[in-house]
Structure 1
Amino acid sequence: MAKEKLVLIGNGMAGIRCLEEIILSDPNRFSITVFGSENHLNYNRILLSSILQGNSSFEETIIRDSDWYEKNQIKVYTNETVIQLDNVNKTLTTNRNRDVSYDKLILATGSTPFVPPLPGTGKEGIMTFRTIEDCRQIMNSADKGKSAVVIGGGLLGLEAAQGLIHLGMEVTVVHNAETIMNNQLDSVAAGLLQDSLQKEGVKFLLKKETQCFKGGSRVEKVILADGKELPADLVIIAAGVRPNIQLAQECGLNTNKGIVVNGYMQTSFPDIYAVGECAEHRGVVYGLVKPLYEQGKVLAKHICGVPAEEYKGSILSTKLKISGMEVFSAGNLFEKGFTKALTLYDEDEQTYKKIVFKHNKISGFLMVGDLQGHVRLLDMMKRKRDFSDDEKVQLLNSAEEEHISSMAQTSIVCNCNGVTKKSIIEAVSAKGLETVEEVRSCTKASGTCGGCKPLVEELLFYIKSDDFHEKMEPSTLCCCTNLTEEEIVEQIQIRGLRSIEDVFTALDWRKENGCSICVPALRYFLSMTVPGYKGDGQSIWISDMENAIREEDGTYSIFPQIYGGETASDQLQKIAAAAEKYSIPKIALSNNGRIKLTGILEKDLPGIWQTLKMKLIPVPQTAAVSVNMNDSKSCGCEMDSPKKMAVQLQKKTEYAIFPKRLEMGIEPCSHASTNFAGKDIVAIKIRQGWEIYIGENPGELLTIASIEEEAEEVIIALMQYYRESAKYLESVSEWTARIGLIHLREVLFDFELRKLLIRRLEEDTYNAASRLPVF
């Protein structure tokens, strides 16, 4: 089968990271061609300011060299610009008259520096600061002792100013706002940073507009709107950037500020995608690295046909270190209405912290001079954790940073690349990494902006110390494979694997027949991901009255269905008759309230089925749902409604396979202490409706439903979401702790999403008689 032709326009960080994700998802799907306007291969644009400041070299900016393109059979054209797209015929033309056809196209054209249309901007000595060539030109033009003017007091302008100071120039920053970095910092934080830069020699002129540039062929002066003249041998314009959308506009794509995309990064032409600084998602154009990488992951999965959640936007955060002062800004600091801000300012230490809360959740925070705890705060903001007033104050008054040993292994260390503490520990332990550079090469941590480098250094030192005793949960599914659970599911979907034998063969399983850990796990993965999966023949399914589960010793077990924990004499008589006639060795009450007939020989199954003539449930006990009702009350409270709910829930989930056995209890009233300790989900009838609890001993209150129908809907949607998002053998309590109660409420209280989850569970069980997985 011929490969599809994929063309990437843009050889920058966002586009190439997207290709990395595509190659990871499906390495043989596309024949890839890349066009880049610059005369360089893929490099790290963020490190350019570090080069100006003397902390990095040009060589250190290279991310992917020619060997990488060659290894992945990528045809790359540098210093060549695409000038025309033909959406009808799916072809493009370059400035070198090269015509190339495509099946899929990715636009990663980035952004271009905004140069205000002022008189004199074309003079020599006036530059922007965006590319390697810009950086080289600035360094070659900088003369020690001469005057430089930077137009713009944002992040890029300040980094350029500090770089020019390092090169020995006299630097003045002209900014049109009242404070520097006014989009990320409040007045206090901006003042601290400005003071620090002024001590290094940077001068500031704030609330000033530039009128024009004077001189002969080369700039000599900057004239401000108030008539003030500044001597200028060199001018750097850092007045922001604009998405590069000209090519998209000319070919008829829907554009606004950027190229408008949906949640899968598709443009108004489905076979054309856009990613990075040129893309506009839900009215927002992102200029920071982490959102661009997140977009790339979603795009890669979608273009490869792999199921993926839509990109929903990103929390913006900025970390920098200028003139020795560290600054971290995240989220929304300036939102008005329903917000409350807490601040802590130490004038002597020149440190400042500010946390903005909205509805008792962190909506943004700011740290200057002391970044202790910023990783933890960012994690809590992402999880949308609720805080009491006392907890809010404690966040600010925390005098000492938690030691890295107390950081959760799931916490993000490298925000740009999404690298967790656990990933770094595993890499260091498995590969014997000794330096930050080796960690960067192996995990990408600190490989983009470099802001997390101190944290990576601290973690590396901790791992190598005698204090390191953290136990790591196995990342791989079992000893039969090097793959994680997520990677196995992804490969099942990508490669279209439809049986356990397919998995063993395609994924190079170490043991021919697997083990007791991976075999049941693979059955579950296949049942959840492969439409129509009927199992691998280990058990028997003919109909809902003729089925059985095969046990490890080769015998079979049968589970007569009992609703609401109640049976009848005729059902018991049939079971007794079958047991006596076919010498069934063991009859027991299973731990989910069902009767279990076990030790049955395969030859006896047809006769037993004929004798019983009742509904049987062929769902492994380890993956079943159990619904029990506490009917031992003597208070006289109404029992019919709770009993009806228990039966309804049991019927709606009786064929559903779960990651781990799920126990549910129905409590008819709240007059007596519950007998449902250890249950995963508990519903208690109260006067106002139903209280629904989740988690064990005693569990947390999830919600209060006003009527029985609402309670049933919430519980069914909750069960389906657990099926879809929990890891194999992850308990409901562990799952809830991982995804967060707040997130769970957001999902279940979204009416449309709740209906969708209910519908998906119905679809999973509707055709059970024809496609129920047999294990």
Structure 2
Amino acid sequence: MKEKLILIGNGMAGVRVLEELLERAPGRYEVTVFGAEPHPTYNRIMLSPVLAGEKQFEDIVTHDRAWYAQNGFDLRTGTRIESVDRTAREVVASDGSRMPYDRLVIAAGSHPILIPVPGKDLPGVITFRDIADVDAMLAAAGSGRRAVVIGGGLLGLEAANGLLARGMTVTVVHLMATVMERQLDDAAGYLLRRELERRGLAVITEANTECIFGDGRVGGVRLKDGREIPADLVVMAVGIRPNADLGKATGLATNRGLIVDDRMVTSDEAILAVGECVEHRGQSYGLVAPLYEMAKVVADQLAGRTDSVYQGSVTSTKLKVTGIDVFSAGTFGADKDAEDIVFRDAARGIYKRIVLKDDRIVGTVLYGDTADGARLFQLLRSSEDVSAERDTLVFGPALAAGGAAPDPIEAVAALPAEAEICGCNGVCKGKIVEAIGAKGLQTVEDVRTHTKASASCGSCTGLVEKLLKSTLGEAFQQGSSVKPVCGCTTYGHDEVRKLIRAKELRSIPELMQELAWTSPNGCSKCRPALNYYLLCEYPGEYRDDAQSRFVNERVHANIQKDGTYSVVPRMWGGVTSAAELRAIADVVDRYQIPTVKVTGGQRIDLLGVKKEQLPAVWADLNNAGLVSGHAYGKALRTVKTCVGSEWCRFGTQDSTAMGIALERATWGVWTPHKVKMAVSGCPRNCAEATVKDFGVVAVESGWELHVGGAAGMHVRPTDLLCKVATPPEVIEYCCAFLQLYREEGRYLERPWPWIERVGIAYLRKRIVEDAESRRALHARFRHAISFTQKDPWAERAAGAAAHEFSPLAEVVA
């Protein structure tokens, strides 16, 4: 006959015991699980994303009712255990039922602390511990506007961030001088507070709450210095205390929590305890990783492995507030025998501190760049002597060995087998690598299913993916459906753009922190792409980052093989004047420019300009009304034209005027790659419009619009987009096409492969068939270009000598 096992508490710690027991002794016990909440097990770590709207409750359920049934566990939700008869070995439930046990496991969790101030019992004052609390906060967020969170620790900041995401005005009041003072030092706490305030949170530190006031319902919080903060909702997140109530009532040994020995056994040999309700060697834990370490020992004991012991945990902390990377582990107090290694990069908001004692890491705090957290935590746990790499410790393992900046994949590959990858679930590298090989795992989801790594807070997902890459090598690359932007990330271009919009990311550092970039500051591949995507998403708001541009774009000229540069002034539609030619000739003479050449795009190229001459050359050209032709830019290069009906006997429309109108309407705005246009005055197509990115061919009834041509290494004729009748329509359709390409093209993707990827039918639907979509695209393009044509290098465009050919002058305007 099976032994009877009762588990009191259906939370993460208790259910982890059942999972571990299934591995060790499946079928040994007849198991009954009592849970006070009406739900099956869910991941409490992910309550913050539910509050913020990033996940639904169903997304964080870890074990549904079917799991209990499949494993033969009797789950009784919404049922509390009122008492334990240790003599009879029976539990008495809140529904009046009695049930015998041979072994009993108590996993009662913890109680949130309510500070004893007047008003703490008013409606609208809640804690943040379970899904019921989240539901209450969401209800308040729907009907109220202002929230106060009392407590600036880990849980309080996550609650505040979630309420802010729900549209509330949020104030955090915190008793101590810095937020998260238990996990962060003063410097990191300052950086975190500054970032939270930048996001819109109000933070008041050294704030002692006097009372919570309100007439029948919460109305605000009064501090002891007299300040009053109005509130429709008050969240108390000042800490937790072990729930030892049942243990005390049962006569078990208790202090702050249920006292257990190293076997996780209470003062009654038949009763074990696990989780936040426990006190072990005078210590209680509120983080999930120690609870899971306890669960393994409890399962060992239940399976008969009586030599298994728990000796305490070294913990680390990661903040789950979206887009803020914070990691801490160990101690970093005022130990006079300890040494500090500190790295700061104020411009990027990065701060690293490693605390050493006797050449061993005893603490670390990382802010802004936490990629090295797993390695430092492993060194801390192993108490390894780091004196040999002391001078380079803060920079990573490759530099410690005298190498270059570490490759993220190689850095993960170099971690020892015992290195912890998933702190929440206590999963080491060796276990994941073994599972990948033994079970043929290919994806992060596979690893999550079989090992639990990344199944809780998800912050180790990047590490798991890198471990897959380092283990599978080319096999992983071949199986990857999304090509990443670069080696700094696993996200593809489309994913990055979607996340910029969804998460409203507004700077490169914020984006890299939010999307867990593996390098502290990106690389030459990703930074230009991110700079472009942010420019496109936030025209006029985002400030162009010059350091994220290629050298040609920084100096506004094309570098040549001998280190000199070529300068191409813009000539609207390929048309120039005597005044412009004289200005160019004067510049050539003044700076002794060796070569002057007409380009294939009907512009004049000044070749052989020295780098130090560029500012003066451009100043002289600007003074003559000539602006950059962007021959170096991911932007409109040229609009090539023929002379059209103004001069040619075959011309059907004024192609020169149309080309000038197009160029004036579209120049200066950044695009994923270079863009070339042409306008031909008749179907003879002298301007070669049918091999351009956007080509216009005049016909008797109006204009044919062509897209997606190429005439370089890859030759591709254009696709006919549509026919239009009037010049204003040409401008509108062209701007809509360019904006759609700007918004959906991948950085360094020319228009033709983008069109082949999405299909010409998609373009026709968005631009031709859907007039509302076309007008919206056109409006967004005009909005963007209203800022880019005010760029310092374009500021003289308004005063440039205009070539206004009636009747198109109004189109240009």
Superposed pair shares fold, TM > 0.5: yes
User: What is aligned with 1:184?
Assistant: 183
> Would you say the 8 A contact 1:172–1:204 is kept in 2?
yes
Shift of 1:145: 7.3
Q: Which moved more, 1:90-99 or 1:260-269?
A: 90-99
User: What is aligned with 2:447?
Assistant: 439
Match of 2:460 among 452, 460, 485: 452
Pairs within 5 Å for 1:561-600: none
> Would you say the 8 A contact 1:417–1:444 is kept in 2?
yes
After superposition, the C-alpha distances for 1:154-183 in whole angstroms (9 at most, x for unaligned) are 000000011011000100000000000010
* Residues in 1 aligned to 2:317 and 2:302: alpha-carbon distance in whole angstroms: 30
Go from structure 1 to structure 2 and tell me whether the alpha carbon gap of 1:262 and 1:426 turns closer, same or farther (over 3 Å shift).
closer
User: What is aligned with 2:390?
Assistant: 392
User: What is aligned with 2:574?
Assistant: none
**Any idea what SS the aligned residue of 1:142 has?**
helix
Pairs within 5 Å for 1:520-599: none
Pairs within 5 Å for 1:142-541: 142-143=141-142, 146-334=145-333, 336-388=335-387, 391-398=389-396, 400-405=405-410, 406-408=413-415, 410=417, 411-429=419-437, 431-463=439-471, 465-466=473-474
Shift of 1:99: 0.9
* Residues in 2 aligned to 1:121 and 1:401: alpha-carbon distance in whole angstroms: 52
Shift of 1:415: 2.1
Shift of 1:119: 1.3
* Residues in 1 aligned to 2:210 and 2:56: alpha-carbon distance in whole angstroms: 36
Shift of 1:422: 4.1
Q: Which amino acid is 2:455 matched to?
A: G
User: What is aligned with 1:132?
Assistant: 131
* Residues in 2 aligned to 1:157 and 1:369: alpha-carbon distance in whole angstroms: 20
Go from structure 1 to structure 2 and tell me whether the alpha carbon gap of 1:99 and 1:192 turns closer, same or farther (over 3 Å shift).
same
> Would you say the 8 A contact 1:196–1:323 is kept in 2?
no
Q: Which amino acid is 1:316 matched to?
A: T
Shift of 1:15: 0.4
* Residues in 2 aligned to 1:283 and 1:419: alpha-carbon distance in whole angstroms: 26
Go from structure 1 to structure 2 and tell me whether the alpha carbon gap of 1:40 and 1:265 turns closer, same or farther (over 3 Å shift).
same
Q: Which amino acid is 2:118 matched to?
A: P
Q: Which amino acid is 1:419 matched to?
A: V
Go from structure 1 to structure 2 and tell me whether the alpha carbon gap of 1:369 and 1:428 turns closer, same or farther (over 3 Å shift).
same
After superposition, the C-alpha distances for 1:331-384 in whole angstroms (9 at most, x for unaligned) are 122262422222111111110111111222111111100012211111111111
* Residues in 2 aligned to 1:355 and 1:53: alpha-carbon distance in whole angstroms: 32
* Residues in 2 aligned to 1:147 and 1:51: alpha-carbon distance in whole angstroms: 19
User: What is aligned with 1:666?
Assistant: none
Shift of 1:248: 0.4
After superposition, the C-alpha distances for 1:83-138 in whole angstroms (9 at most, x for unaligned) are 11111111111111111111111110000111112211221111111111111121
> Would you say the 8 A contact 1:373–1:402 is kept in 2?
no
> Would you say the 8 A contact 1:416–1:449 is kept in 2?
yes
* Residues in 2 aligned to 1:371 and 1:356: alpha-carbon distance in whole angstroms: 16
* Residues in 2 aligned to 1:299 and 1:329: alpha-carbon distance in whole angstroms: 28
User: What is aligned with 1:528?
Assistant: none
Go from structure 1 to structure 2 and tell me whether the alpha carbon gap of 1:144 and 1:78 turns closer, same or farther (over 3 Å shift).
closer
Shift of 1:224: 1.1
> Would you say the 8 A contact 2:274–2:291 is kept in 1?
yes
> Would you say the 8 A contact 2:151–2:238 is kept in 1?
yes
User: What is aligned with 1:648?
Assistant: none
Shift of 1:300: 1.1
User: What is aligned with 2:670?
Assistant: none
**Any idea what SS the aligned residue of 2:319 has?**
strand
User: What is aligned with 1:746?
Assistant: none
User: What is aligned with 2:556?
Assistant: none
**Any idea what SS the aligned residue of 1:219 has?**
coil
* Residues in 1 aligned to 2:475 and 2:319: alpha-carbon distance in whole angstroms: 30
* Residues in 1 aligned to 2:290 and 2:378: alpha-carbon distance in whole angstroms: 16
TM-score where L is the length of structure 2: 0.56
Identical-pair percentage: 44
**Any idea what SS the aligned residue of 1:450 has?**
coil
> Would you say the 8 A contact 1:129–1:135 is kept in 2?
yes
* Residues in 2 aligned to 1:174 and 1:167: alpha-carbon distance in whole angstroms: 19
**Any idea what SS the aligned residue of 2:114 has?**
coil
User: What is aligned with 1:102?
Assistant: 101
After superposition, the C-alpha distances for 1:703-758 in whole angstroms (9 at most, x for unaligned) are xxxxxxxxxxxxxxxxxxxxxxxxxxxxxxxxxxxxxxxxxxxxxxxxxxxxxxxx
User: What is aligned with 2:18?
Assistant: 19
Q: Which amino acid is 1:91 matched to?
A: E
Shift of 1:387: 2.4
User: What is aligned with 1:647?
Assistant: none
Pairs within 5 Å for 1:43-82: 43-82=42-81
* Residues in 2 aligned to 1:26 and 1:429: alpha-carbon distance in whole angstroms: 25
Shift of 1:442: 2.0
After superposition, the C-alpha distances for 1:664-688 in whole angstroms (9 at most, x for unaligned) are xxxxxxxxxxxxxxxxxxxxxxxxx
User: What is aligned with 2:736?
Assistant: none
* Residues in 2 aligned to 1:337 and 1:97: alpha-carbon distance in whole angstroms: 59
After superposition, the C-alpha distances for 1:370-419 in whole angstroms (9 at most, x for unaligned) are 0122111111111111122x622210134744532332361332122233
Task: Count how many residue pairs are aligned between Structure 1 and Structure 2.
Answer: 467
* Residues in 1 aligned to 2:374 and 2:476: alpha-carbon distance in whole angstroms: 20
Q: Which amino acid is 2:204 matched to?
A: L
Q: CA RMSD in A?
A: 1.9
* Residues in 2 aligned to 1:32 and 1:331: alpha-carbon distance in whole angstroms: 38
* Residues in 2 aligned to 1:272 and 1:52: alpha-carbon distance in whole angstroms: 36
Go from structure 1 to structure 2 and tell me whether the alpha carbon gap of 1:157 and 1:72 turns closer, same or farther (over 3 Å shift).
same
Pairs within 5 Å for 1:612-631: none
* Residues in 1 aligned to 2:299 and 2:315: alpha-carbon distance in whole angstroms: 22
Pairs within 5 Å for 1:720-739: none
**Any idea what SS the aligned residue of 1:35 has?**
strand
Shift of 1:16: 0.6
After superposition, the C-alpha distances for 1:577-596 in whole angstroms (9 at most, x for unaligned) are xxxxxxxxxxxxxxxxxxxx
After superposition, the C-alpha distances for 1:424-455 in whole angstroms (9 at most, x for unaligned) are 34444555544422321122110122120121
**Any idea what SS the aligned residue of 1:223 has?**
strand
* Residues in 2 aligned to 1:252 and 1:315: alpha-carbon distance in whole angstroms: 30
Greater relative CO (CA pairs within 8 A, separation 6+)? 1
After superposition, the C-alpha distances for 1:565-621 in whole angstroms (9 at most, x for unaligned) are xxxxxxxxxxxxxxxxxxxxxxxxxxxxxxxxxxxxxxxxxxxxxxxxxxxxxxxxx
* Residues in 2 aligned to 1:466 and 1:144: alpha-carbon distance in whole angstroms: 53
* Residues in 1 aligned to 2:415 and 2:394: alpha-carbon distance in whole angstroms: 20
Shift of 1:457: 2.8
User: What is aligned with 1:688?
Assistant: none
Q: Which amino acid is 2:37 matched to?
A: E
User: What is aligned with 1:494?
Assistant: none
Go from structure 1 to structure 2 and tell me whether the alpha carbon gap of 1:24 and 1:429 turns closer, same or farther (over 3 Å shift).
closer
**Any idea what SS the aligned residue of 2:383 has?**
coil
Q: Which moved more, 1:401-410 or 1:241-250?
A: 401-410
* Residues in 2 aligned to 1:90 and 1:76: alpha-carbon distance in whole angstroms: 20
Shift of 1:321: 3.9
